[in-house]
Structure 1
């Protein structure tokens, strides 16, 4: 149970925002961070009915890409500690401590949201992912990011799950080829939903802008269902557990580092 220091407000006592600001990547590698989904702000439809991507013969829904401006999605965020030891990224209010200014990339069913980052903020969060794909592409100082959701209603598609998943994978592969420019990396559901056979619960992508050279980098962060023993041997990817929960984080863009898994009799090893 979290005890409040005497004389401090609930938010100020539990806010981990300053620690995140000062040690962002290290904070990710030591703490489970979950992002709360927020409604997207106004956006223009960039493209509709991408039939060259979707297989229309299967009666898939039309897909839309929404192009957000960075000004629209710069939000005040806060990083708070929850009762179960997970740190939650939520929207800040006027009554909170000074907010963490960050870009936020939302999601919606069968839609893709894109945004080009710049120098309006030094941090980036994407909405939580449980089947979506994240793409980063372009130049280090002005990368374009995408949060893409490919939806197939199982009640309307009399196909086995494996077939549906294959179609989703095909769509994401085609999507990546369509938006590719410069250095491009993707975080796909095949990577984060059940790595090493262990089921994950929530996944997000976090971005950090170097204040000295203005370059962006992104890291993936996967929170797992608890009580599943596993470890990895890759020095660039950390699998950590703090009683509850378990999580995995590593570099995503411009260079992605994938974990190398092994289980060792319930012992938990650092990379």
Structure 2
């Protein structure tokens, strides 16, 4: 199809592509012929530049958020009431074997470049959430310790990155020991030996499962110390701590290396707290205006709190 006025080709909407054709419809903003739908070539170029600028600003925003996280860590998270999420990626079960309470478990010892993954950090300011995702095109290279059901994973840190993260936990345990410059970290999971609880009440489940978690992870720590895989002073982040009765069932751990090349580890867990202001509501069946027609209740909410884990574990 061609324009009846200038005999130039028409686009898929029957619009002439000749910029000088006075009889054909043109973009009201630039007075150029339509190229795609109701957009001229200049409109399309402006849109492309605007999108590039938006992407640049978004990348800069997330980069600044990552800088705040690396620089200020738990202080930034607590100050902004930010919930931190970690990738849940699993690793491959290794050929090593560790025997805990008469049961053998696979052990993967990550060394060299196998310790590193590239990650992407994003911060949703409106929702007060930040997260790390494994991404081959990510801008940050860090130590990453994965997990797998009924497996041990470990690595020794050094000076090749200033960030360590491990998979999010809801029953796993992280153990840390060693010199500040080169600590050793284990991520351990026990699942099959933990009893199933026929209840939908989280508190009941914890009361029945946490003692067995503690027994298993205590035995694992003692084994690792006996084998010389962990030093004498071990810090443990286990379900008995981050899944206690006044907490939820989520824990995340990360480490940051400072300018003195010393590693410090932090954690975040969800804690149920009471609000300072009590709600008041009328009691059913009591006449309004009479004494006792209101009762106070201090409602609860779940908050994400962060603090130091190693070398000194501090309460949330």
TM-score by length of 1: 0.72
Superposition pairs of residues 55-66 of structure 1, within 5 angstroms: 55=102, 62-66=104-108
In structure 2, the partner of 1:205 is: 253
Maintained 8 Å contact 2:172/2:238? yes
Maintained 8 Å contact 1:184/1:253? no
1:190 and 2:247 matched: no
2:156 corresponds to which of 92, 99, 116: 116
Gap change, CA 1:39 and 1:230, over 3 Å in 2: same
Shift of 1:37: 1.3
Superposition pairs of residues 8-27 of structure 1, within 5 angstroms: 8-9=54-55, 11-12=58-59, 14-15=61-62, 16-27=65-76
Gap change, CA 1:93 and 1:155, over 3 Å in 2: same
2:315 corresponds to which of 250, 258, 267: 258
- Provide the aligned length of Structure 1 versus Structure 2: 226
In structure 2, the partner of 1:267 is: none
1:141 and 2:190 matched: no
Gap change, CA 1:255 and 1:154, over 3 Å in 2: closer
Give per-residue Cα distances to partners, 1:146-175, cap 9 Å, x unaligned: 1100112678899x9656543331110011
Higher helix share: 2
- CA-based RMSD of the aligned residues comes to 3.2
Superposition pairs of residues 157-172 of structure 1, within 5 angstroms: 164-172=209-217
Gap change, CA 1:194 and 1:13, over 3 Å in 2: farther
In structure 1, the partner of 2:282 is: none
Q: Secondary structure at the match of 1:124?
A: strand
Maintained 8 Å contact 1:132/1:148? yes
Listed as ranges, the gaps of 5+ residues in structure 1 are: 57-61, 232-243, 260-271
1:129 and 2:169 matched: yes
1:173 and 2:218 matched: yes
Greater radius of gyration (CA):
2
1:7 and 2:53 matched: yes
1:69 corresponds to which of 111, 129, 133: 111
In structure 1, the partner of 2:263 is: 216
1:54 and 2:101 matched: yes
Gap change, CA 1:189 and 1:156, over 3 Å in 2: closer
CA distance in 1, matches of 2:270, 2:209: 25
Maintained 8 Å contact 1:69/1:115? yes
Maintained 8 Å contact 2:174/2:186? yes
CA distance in 2, matches of 1:157, 1:78: 37
Maintained 8 Å contact 1:130/1:203? yes
Listed as ranges, the gaps of 5+ residues in structure 2 are: 1-49, 199-203, 226-230, 277-300
Q: Secondary structure at the match of 1:249?
A: strand
Select the structure with the greater relative contact order (CA < 8 A; seq sep ≥ 6): 1
CA distance in 1, matches of 2:190, 2:155: 18
